[in-house]
Amino acid sequence: MTSAPSDPAGREQLLAEGELQIVGRVMDSSNATLVVDVTRGDDYGWGIYKPLLGEAPLWDFEPGLYRRERAAYLLSEEIGWSVVPPTIVREDAPVGVGSLQWFVEADGQHYFTLLETEPDTHDALRRLAVFDIVVNNADRKAGHVLRDGDGRVWAIDHGLCFAAETKLRTVIWDFGGEPVDDALLGDIAFLATDVPDAVAELLDDAEVVALKRRVRRLLQRPFLPLPTTNRHYPWPLV
C-alpha cells in the first residue's frame, strides 16, 4: 500500500527522487502550473510543478521564477518557521527544469476566511506578514494562504519574491501598525548580516543585499506596515 511521508525531509526526498507523472493543470494560473503524481516504491504524494518553459515573460523579474520558489522554502526553513511546503528544483522533470512543491491538501479556507472566522490562526497570519516583508513578496493573494486538515497554515506561490526594489503587494494588511513579536524578530535577526549560502546562490548580489536591508529596517522599526496606495494590493485579491 502506498503512503505519503509525513516529515519534511521525507517529502523533500520523495520530490527529489520520485517518478513524476503529470495529471492536470491549474487553469487559473498566469504561468504553467502542473499537478503531478510523485511515486517511489511505496511512497506516494502529489506535487505542484512549475517549469521554466511555462513562465510568462515579465519586465521586472528575470526568467527562472522557480529558483525564487526554492529560495522561499529554504529561507522559511532556515528561520525555523516552516511556512512554505517542501520545494525543490528538478532538472529532469517532464517539461524541463522547474520547481516542484509538495501539494497541500487544504480545507478550502483562504486568508480572508481565516481572518474573519478563525481567530486561532491570527498569530500564524501575523508571522506570514513578517515573512512577506522579509522576502519582499509582490503577489500575496488570499488564495496563496492555505490551511491543511491538521489546522496548519501554509504559504504558497513565491515566484515573485526577493526583488531588490521594494515590491510588497499583499492582502495581509489587517495587522498593520501592530508591533512585531520579539520572538519573530529574534528568528530573523541573523539575516540582517548573513543570508545562508543556499538561499543567496539562488538570488543575485543586489537581491541578497536588499534582503539584509529589509531585515535591518524591520529590526529598527519593528512594526507591521500599512498600505499607502492601492498598488500595494495584488489583483485579483483571491
pLDDT tens, 76-125? Answer: 999 999 999 999 999 999 999 999 999 999 999 999 999 999 999 999 99
pTM of model > 0.85: yes
What is the distance between the alpha carbons of residues 213 and 195, in angstroms, rounded to a whole number? 11
pLDDT of the residue at 2: 61
pLDDT of the residue at 194: 97
Q: Above 60 in pLDDT, residue 1?
A: no
What is the distance between the alpha carbons of residues 217 and 226, in angstroms, rounded to a whole number? 15
Nearest to 214 by CA among 126, 127, 130: 130
From residue 115, alpha-carbon distances to 110, 111, 125, 157, 224 in Å are 8, 6, 8, 19, 16
pLDDT of the residue at 65: 98
- Please state, rounded to an integer, the average pLDDT across all residues of the chain: 95
pLDDT tens, 27-68? Answer: 878 889 999 999 999 999 999 999 999 999 999 999 999 999
pLDDT tens, 144-186? Answer: 999 999 999 999 999 999 999 999 999 999 999 999 999 999 9
pLDDT of the residue at 56: 92
Q: Above 90 in pLDDT, residue 204?
A: yes
pLDDT of the residue at 147: 97
Q: Give me 153's grid cell.
A: 497554515
* Average pLDDT of span 220-230: 94
Give the number of other CB atoms < 10 A from CB of residue 48: 22
